Amino acid sequence: MDRNKLHILGEHDEGTLKQMRQAVAADECAYGVLCADGHKGYNVPIGAVLAYPEHISPAGVGFDIACGNKAVRLDLKASEIRPRLNELAEQIFASLSFGVGRVNQTKIDHPAFDSPTWKEVPFLRTNQSLFASARNQLGTIGSGNHYVDVFEDQDTGNVWVGCHFGSRGLGHRIASHFIEASGAKPNGNMDSPPTLLDVNSEVGQEYIAAMHLAGDYAYAGRDWVCEHVAAILGGTIQESVHNHHNFAWQEEHHGQTYWVVRKGATPAFPGQRGFVGGSMGDVSVILRGTESLELRQALCSTVHGAGRVMSRTAAAGKKRWVKDEAGRRQAVQISEGVVNMPAVREDLARRGIVLKGAGADEAPEVYKNLPTVLQHHVRTIQVTTTLTPLIVCMAGSDEFDPYKD
């Protein structure tokens, strides 16, 4: 493999590096970048960027198509809401739907549901139930590392609202179908090389259309959540920062046009802003790309988060899921993890952070330190705003999620 073909930022374990080298070794791949928050994923590491002249990788985009982050600044100061943080956290957590397969009690209409793609792509046209479930799920958050947070701007004291989630069941069904269409098994070996679709083929064009539909859907969901939380807090949105980090774009790099697949990587062209979240106990940031040779080498990409350093099983232990008499899934703990979650909750409370939901597999210690990670990208980005968490809302520790382990 050409050594100039792969650009690595930060330090990574051998399993992550092996996945990345394998993905970039394909003849169809022109360039690859591994961001400093990288860790192993399905076929392609989280934190990977892959550039193809005429191909696209459904596994490279990932199962949660258009997963991304949005942050909005409100016309409120943290001092105005600090006395009511517990009450506000209860309202946010109770009025939003966290977890797998949940529906939004508020029915949202959006132009994405009028898109001709629903009828033009055969997979979507022949799966009408997917349209109905997508309508019901719009604005739900999901589980795993997906969240809704309230922050304080360290410089101005303003309140920001941030969220992280993607296209929910719609994206997962689209990804699974097209991964299979590319010749792989959606539940196959995670260390297999990513299969590809020719963007000029009929199935390639269908995937691109479905991916863009999932992208519009994910944007709509994050827009609604931020507006909903802003209303609970009693503030008006003054500015927004919004990016996908599981997506593919047609872009020009090194004088040629490529399909650039980012999996857990944020677009960061010169001047472009992004919102990058840390762990529940760490700062998050607003950043922007800076014109530099290093940014061009990174294909104008940066991190999407801090990056995991501990598996979910190691952190929270092993669980077996069983159904009760009503058919609901219940967690039975069969081994203990290393994270002391009650101690984590006590520490966060001492620091004035209100935590709703979440479990040991999302504790601060299972993630890298975000400022340390960003140091590996210091020549490519500028941090413009640093945000301290006030409220963190996530799915509960006993929320069944077949996709997060």
Backbone φ, ψ for residue 129 (5° rounding): -65, -25
For 276, the token pair is: 């990058």
Share of the chain above pLDDT 70, in %: 94
Could you tell me which residues come within 8 angstroms of residue 71 by beta carbon, excluding any fewer than 6 positions away? 151, 160, 161, 162, 163, 226, 240, 241, 242, 275, 284, 286, 387
Query: In the predicted model, is pLDDT for residue 54 greater than 60?
Result: yes
Q: Does the predicted model carry a pTM greater than 0.85?
A: yes
pLDDT for position 349: 96
Percent of the chain clearing pLDDT 90 (strictly above): 85
Domains in the chain, ordered, with CATH?
Answer: 3-396 (3.90.1860.10)
User: What is the tens place of the pLDDT at every residue in 180-211?
Assistant: 999 998 888 999 999 999 999 999 999 999 99
pLDDT of 339 higher than 70: yes
Q: Which residue has the tokens 């609970």?
A: 232
Q: How far is CA 319 from the centre of its chain?
A: 24
pLDDT attached to residue 75: 98
pLDDT grade for 399, boundaries at 50, 70 and 90: low
* Backbone φ, ψ for residue 159 (5° rounding): -90, 135
Bridge partners of residue 289, in order along the sequence: 270, 381
pLDDT at 7 over 50: yes
**Which of 145-154, 322-331, 380-389 is predicted least confidently?**
322-331
Residue 220 has pLDDT above 50, yes or no: yes
Phi, psi of 377 (to 5 degrees): -110, 15
